[in-house]
Amino acid sequence: MNNQRWLSQNFFVFFITWGIFLPYWTGWLVQAEGLSVTEASLIMGFGLLARGASTLFAFPLASKYWSSQTVILVLTVSSLLATILYIPSSSFGTLFVVTIIFSTVYPALLPAVDSTAGALVQQGDVHYGKSRSYGSIGFVISVLIISMVTGYFGEQAILWSMMVGLCLMLLMRFLPTPTVLLVKPTAKDRKESLTMRSLWQVKSFPIVLLIVILLQGAHASYYNYGYIYLQDLGVKKYYIGMIINIGVIFEILYFAKADHLFKKWKPSSLLLLSASGSTLRWLLIFLFPNVWVFMFSQSLHALSFGVAHYAFIRYITKNLSKQQIPNAQGVYSAVALSLSTAVLTLAGGILYEVSSRLAFLGMIVCTVPAMVLIMVTRKQYEY
């Protein structure tokens, strides 16, 4: 199979499940399982901590001994089994434990798929942005379907939809796979991949990582409370999916053209653009608490998330060896997409109980320092 097509298909199928998990999982815990927003926030926050530990240690370790195909297969099967454990769970305690298990295996699929992208991009025959745009399309389709399904069957359908999506991912593992992803790492590869510690020896890596930690963590309130916030504004369930998809549509447009439009941009310039757009996004939601402004702010998702993510992928593919990419992806997913989001999810939950608008305003505590950090360090570290 053509490498570009393989990567596009895998992004597409994975993000169908991500479109179920990211915007709806907290809402499912609240609406279908009867938890309070504070209880659901606590569960999701600790789930993010489990996700961080898994992607920081378990995923890079597995990548040293298993092929990329095997890593994805094991994570997919484990995720499917974990969702089955949700079926008999109803109390806060059991939901907490099962979510920890699920969060340990399922989100690790994100850096696993992204690592395959890094390996294929370094071969020179794959455009990351083009394939990643198919992931965003899968996300859009998923959100639209779930919004309709939940409107008809209720929030309990979210869990069953996740099971169906994971079954699709499992079927993908039996399709032809690029040869480079089937190769089991050798002892030499394991030696060259070094350890997490080696990443800090790359002069600019800690700075770039800190910046993306701040920028991606700033999405905590949006990811976990956007669904509930729109309900509080009186938006019907069917339209919530459409509104969430506005952001992803702009993300699709960005990823589809990023390889060409931003070919000459440095990662630092991309990160500064992302930080500026993110700050504006959360300020708009705070200052103007209505559906129309929220819809407009969704267009900034391409900047707040898409540009930051693309900047990091471009940075590691140009500055790190093939063997170090899984380590970098593990750290990024663990700290930027999990741990920082976990902390800010808990903080956002507290702010949301005071005022839903404050939960979004609080996110600029990350974006403004990120802007300052970029401007202070970009010349010194040349990234």
- A 10 A CB-CB count for 188 gives 9
Question: So what's the pLDDT on residue 296?
Answer: 94
Among candidate residues 92, 98, 96, the one with its CA nearest the CA of residue 46: 96
Exposure on the CB side of residue 136, measured as CA atoms within 13 A:
24
Contact (Cβ atoms closer than 8 angstroms) between residue 59 and residue 326: yes
The string over 26-45, giving b where at least 16 C-beta atoms fall within 10 Å of a residue's C-beta and e elsewhere, is bbbbbbbbebebebbbbbbb
Low-confidence ranges of the chain (pLDDT < 50): none
Among candidate residues 56, 230, 233, 256, the one with its CA nearest the CA of residue 150: 230
Q: How far apart are CA 273 and CA 319, in angstroms?
A: 21
Among candidate residues 13, 299, 312, 58, the one with its CA nearest the CA of residue 162: 13
Question: So what's the pLDDT on residue 188?
Answer: 66
Task: Give the C-alpha distances (Å, rounded to integers) separating 277 from 33, 298, 306.
Answer: 35, 11, 11
Question: So what's the pLDDT on residue 194?
Answer: 53
